[in-house]
Amino acid sequence: MKIHLIGIGGVSMSPLAYVLQTYGHSVTGSDRDNSAVVEELRASGIPVTTGHLPESVHGADRVIRTAAARDDNPEVIEARRLGIPLVERAEAWGEIMREYPNTICVAGTHGKTTTTGMLAAIFIEAGRDPTVMIGGTLPGLEGGNYRLGKGGDFILEADEYSNSFRFFKPSVAVILNVEYDHPDFFADFEVYRKAFTDFASESGLVFTNEDLGVNAKPIEQLKFELTIPGDYNQSNASAAYAVARHCGIEDAVIRKALKTYTGAKRRFEHKGFLNGARLVEDYAHHPGELSAVLKAARELAPKRLIIAFQPHTYSRTAALLDDFATALSAADLAVLVEIYAAREDNTYNISANDIAKRIPGAEFYKTLPETAERLRAIAKEGDLILVVGAGNITDLCGLLV
C-alpha cells in the first residue's frame, strides 16, 4: 500500500514509518518543520514534505495522523474529501500489535519510558529478540526509540493522551500509576482514571500499583542493583520484573539486565559539568515526576540542589499550578523558564512566573539564553543542577556544556 503519515517526525510516528517501510509499504510523510528526524527519514528513502499541503495525501491508500493533527489540518480535510481511509497513529500500532502472539503495553502517568526500556533490555538479554516501541531515545536500540525483532514479543509504551491506548488490547498490561494529567483532553480526574480502567478491562493480565476495580495483580516491590537512582526506578524495575517472570524469563537474567540498564535519554541523564557543578537533564513535566526526580537528586547529597524547570503546555500549568509550586519548593533554588506551548495557545493567560511567585526565592526568565546566563553566574562546585521539562529546555544543556 501507499501510506501517508501526517506528523511523520513525531516520537512514535517516525518509527511507525520505518516499520511500515520494512513491511514493504510505500511510505510518504509530512511535518510542520524540518528536523534531524525528518532528514533521517529522507535519507532512508521516505519522502517528507515540510508543511501540511492538501496534495500531499493524493494517491495514498491510507493516511495515518498523529494526535496533534486536528480535524482542521489541510491534509486531514483533503483525505476525508477524497474518501481515503484515515486512522490515528495509535490505531495503526494496534493493528501491527495483533501480528504478535505476546504483546506487552506499559501505561501510567509516570515511568512508562523507563519501564518499557527495562523490559526491552531484559527481553534482549534473554535472547527473545523483541520488537520494541518506546517514547524516548534508548541507547542500544538501533532505531533510537524502536527495535524490529524477529521474536514473538512486542513491547510498547502506551500513552494515555487523547485516550490513544484504547486501540491496544495487549496480552499483558502494566499500569504504573494514575495521577491527573492532560487537562486539555480529560475534563477531570474521574474521566482520566476511567480511561485507564477501560484500558485495563480490554487487556489480558494486568499488573498495577493502583486499585482500579478490575481484575489485576499487584506489583510486588523488590530491590534491585541499578545504575540509575531513585525509589521510583526501583518501582519501575519491580514492574518490569513482574512482567518478565510472568513471560518465563529467569530471575538471574532479569537482574543482570537491570544491573546494566543505563536509562533512556532525558531520564536523569548526566550531561556534564558547569563551573564544577554536575548537570543532569530529565523529561519530568508533571508535579509527581518533579517530586520523584528531586528526591532522587537529594540521594546524591549535593551541597546545593538547583532546578531549572520549563512547564509544558498552558493547560497543565493552569490546572496544576499549586502542585507545581509545592513540588519545586523541594529544591534549594527553583529557576522557572517560560512555558513551552507545544500544541496550545495561551487562552489561560498564564505564565511560568505564576509558579515562581508561589515559591520563596524562585527566579523567572523568559528565554533560554537568559536562563543559561544566570546559571553560569551562580553554578559552583558541589551543586547539582537539574534541567527539567518536556519542551525545548533540552537546548539549555547545549548552551551550558
- Which position has the grid cell 533512556? 264
State the catalytic residues.
112-113, 157
Q: How many CA atoms lie within 13 A of 44 on its CB side?
A: 21
- pLDDT digits over 56-92, tens only? 999 999 999 998 888 999 999 999 999 999 999 999 9
Q: What does the pLDDT read at residue 186?
A: 95
**For 158, left (φ over 0), alpha (ψ -120 to 50), or beta?**
beta
| Contact by Cβ (8 Å): 246, 172 | yes
- pLDDT digits over 318-369, tens only? 999 999 999 999 999 999 999 999 889 999 999 999 999 999 999 999 999 9
pLDDT band at 123 (very low <50, low <70, confident <90, very high): very high
The percentage of residues in the chain with a pLDDT greater than 70, rounded to a whole number, is 100
Would the pLDDT of 108 be above 90?
yes
Would the pLDDT of 201 be above 80?
yes
Task: Please tell me whether the overall predicted TM-score, pTM, comes out greater than 0.85 for this model.
Answer: yes
Q: CA 385 to CA 280: how far, in whole Å?
A: 6
Q: CA 267 to CA 386: how far, in whole Å?
A: 11
pLDDT band at 12 (very low <50, low <70, confident <90, very high): confident
Q: Which three cell numbers stand for residue 353?
A: 512566573
> Could you tell me the domains of the chain?
2-89 (3.40.50.720), 100-260 (3.40.1190.10), 269-400 (3.90.190.20)
Q: Which three cell numbers stand for residue 285?
A: 513535566
Q: CA 377 to CA 399: how far, in whole Å?
A: 13
